[in-house]
Amino acid sequence: MIEARDLCRRHGGRPVLTGVTLTVRPGEFTVLLGPNGAGKSTLLTLLTGETAPDHGRVTLDGRALSDLSPAALARRRAVLPQASELAFPFTVGEVVGLGLEAGGHRVRPEAVRAALARVELSGFAGRLYGELSGGEQQRVHLARVLAQTGGPVGEGGPRFLFLDEPVSSLDIRHQIAVLEIARDFARGGGGVLAVLHDLNLAAGFADRLVVLSGGRIAGEGRPSAVLDDALIESVFGLRLRVGALPPPGMPFLLPQTAAL
């Protein structure tokens, strides 16, 4: 598992994260929530080893991320950032191939095709990445990170997916498809942490929610135990009534109530 203990991080002398402790567990889909500027993306970079904390420690199976080589990290975790720019005219298949190489896998056409089929982009391997829509490009990068992991579990143990706003450019059908992929990855024995802004999608798909506010954890646990009227008002500054569907009691919000 990936464990973070007492993480602190400052940007330009300003505290962005303070005393954050959490665990990303295999077999669990964790969603990170919070308003803009809460520190979600910063926390993601610390958990993946992209940046180092000013204080605290992040470990993978008990070993500090700082002790692992980039190649060793790439074989255990894959990261989908908010935005990915490519300066060269890569084909879609070449982009997915980059993920295979990063994960230490041989670049095989059948592996590229399988990854693209998983994100509903069959037949796109020969197309130029730069000619795709924003949503299609986002799904290409999801295929890339899925190819990098090679599956939820492999040599050395469970794999981890870190997804920073993976549905931001997608229509509702593909939003749900991407979250189903993430949930299936966790069900297969991998660990997933995703940053989302849609509270209803988070409540519907996450096993566990972690809510950040002002660089600190304001709530953590099952969606039904975390999302309530008081938390929404204190974290997001909105008086919204949180409802619940019949058993198992999945919480939901109606943003339209803010206009009443």
Q: How far apart are the first and last CA of the chain?
A: 45
Backbone dihedral angles phi then psi of residue 113, each to the nearest 5 degrees: -65, -40
Report how far residue 146's alpha carbon sits from residue 79's, in angstroms, rounded to the nearest whole number: 10
Number of domains in the chain: 1
Containing H/E element for 249?
A: none
| Reported pTM | 0.93
- Looking at residue 86, its pLDDT comes to 75
In which domain, by residue range, is 180 found? Answer: 2-81+157-259
Structural domain includes residue 149: no
Structural domain includes residue 131: no
Report how far residue 196's alpha carbon sits from residue 44's, in angstroms, rounded to the nearest whole number: 12
Cα 53–chain centre separation: 19
Structural domain includes residue 132: no
Structural domain includes residue 94: no
What CATH number should be reported for the domain holding residue 27?
3.40.50.300
* Mean pLDDT, each 10-residue run in order, the chain (260 residues): 96 93 97 96 95 96 94 95 81 96 94 96 96 94 96 92 93 94 97 96 96 96 94 93 81 77
Backbone dihedral angles phi then psi of residue 56, each to the nearest 5 degrees: 100, -175
- Looking at residue 155, its pLDDT comes to 84
